[in-house]
Amino acid sequence: MSIPAIPLNTGAAIPQVGLGTWPLDDAEAANAVAAGIGLGYRHLDTATRYGNETGVGEGIRRSGVPRGELFVTTKLDGEFQGDDRAIGGLRAALDRLGTDYVDLLLIHWPLPARDQYVSTWRTFEKLHADGLARAIGVSNFTPAHLDRLAAETSVVPAVNQIQISPAIVRLAQRAYDEAHGIVTQSWSPLGGGSGARALLADPVLTGIADRLDRTPAQVVLRWHVQQGLVVLPKSSDPARMAQNLDLFSFELAPDDLAAIATLAEGPDAGVDSDRQGH
Ligand code: A2P
């Protein structure tokens, strides 16, 4: 199965579907990553805060697929914000992952009350220049945070990874990212945990899924990719993982997209920049 790739502002390309790994522990992540790569995933998303980078690395090695064919993202949380703190943070993450670079390194949360995300970004610029992070980006950033990076630093983030689902659509943030050449990634694209169970039972989605002979999860993930978003669905079930990758042989019609738009709860619901979630 061939997964489209979206160009990044570095010149590299990111596979449009990646395997999310929160809240898997090391053993679960190793199994999920090895199975996922076997099914065709080439993009893996983890974070130091998830506590499973060792497992993700083990899954990669177990898969037998060469490192160069994979796109690996990790994120550094508040502990690694401030001057040069990300250097030790990334080196330790690389040790756990068993690799000498990541394809993408993200600031996990802006934490504006600490006022350290600008100095953290300058450290990220060094890690990028050194080749330890082939691309650098952010997560859970708003336009105000990104404006400040633009004013005070020189590298434009390649990616902003934010919570998006048909309930939480984040239109203003997506428009900002697009206008600045920043690729938007969707975390918890299915609504996350119990949210996913509720969302996927919605009659609007089950109706479209029945008509297209797909699952509600595939309809939701297709909604993301059809709008140019990079999706990171998490599942540890191989049958669901396979479904979540099989998004490129059907299409949602304009009427379907309009029906799904009725599920939006508000344009920018769902984010608190000062709290570190997962
Ligand atoms: P599981 O890991 O048991 O498959 P999100 O990616 O939005 O955070 O959502 C993750 C949740 O959605 C998990 O609870 C996961 O459960 C569930 N999930 C993932 N893929 C599917 C699918 N294809 N169908 C139904 N539920 C899914």
Counting from 1 in the atom list of ligand 1, the atom nearest the Cα of 232 is 6
Structure confidence by residue, pLDDT tens digits, 36-93: 999 999 999 999 999 999 999 999 999 999 999 999 999 999 999 999 999 999 999 9
Q: What's the pLDDT score for residue 254? A: 98
What does the angle CA 237 – CA 243 – CA 177 come to, to the nearest 5 degrees?
105
Structure confidence by residue, pLDDT tens digits, 201-237: 999 999 999 999 999 999 999 999 999 999 999 999 9
Q: Are the beta carbons of 163 and 187 closer than 8 angstroms?
A: yes
Q: Whose CA is nearest to atom 2 of ligand 1?
A: 235
Structure confidence by residue, pLDDT tens digits, 256-265: 999 999 999 9
Percentage of the chain modeled with pLDDT above 90? 94
Tokens for 36, please give them.
Answer: 């996922």
Query: In which residue are the tokens 């796109």 written?
Result: 71
Q: Whose CA is nearest to atom 13 of ligand 1?
A: 193
What are the backbone dihedrals phi and psi of residue 14, each rounded to the nearest 5 degrees, phi first?
Answer: -115, 130
Distance CA 245, CA 19 (A): 9
Q: What's the pLDDT score for residue 256? A: 98
238 C-alpha to ligand 1 centroid (Å) = 11
Interior/surface letters 140-178, b for 16+ CB within 10 angstroms, e for the rest: bbbbebbebbeeebebebbbbbbbbbbbbbbeebbebbe
Predicted TM-score (pTM) of this structure: 0.97
**Taking CB atoms and a 6 Å cutoff, what residues make up the pocket around ligand 1?**
20, 188-193, 196, 200, 215, 217, 233-237, 240, 243-244
Mutate to test the pocket of ligand 1, among 22, 44, 168, 234 (most ligand atoms within 8 A of CB): 234
Given a cut of 70, is residue 271 above it in pLDDT? Answer: no
Q: What's the pLDDT score for residue 30? A: 98
DSSP state of 168: B
Given a cut of 60, is residue 115 above it in pLDDT? Answer: yes
Identify the CATH assignment for 5-192+227-234 out of 3.40.1650.10, 3.60.15.10, 3.20.20.100, 3.20.20.70: 3.20.20.100
Q: Are the beta carbons of 184 and 178 closer than 8 angstroms?
A: yes
Q: What's the pLDDT score for residue 210? A: 98
What residue ranges do the domains of the chain occupy? 5-192+227-234
50 in catalytic set: yes
Distance CA 198, CA 7 (A): 33
Q: What is the mean pLDDT of the chain?
A: 96
* Residue 230: strand pairing partners: 185
Query: In which residue are the tokens 């953290």 written?
Result: 120
Environment class of residue 242 by beta-carbon count within 10 Å: exposed (0-12), middle (13-18) or buried (19+)?
A: middle
Q: Are the beta carbons of 120 and 85 closer than 8 angstroms?
A: yes
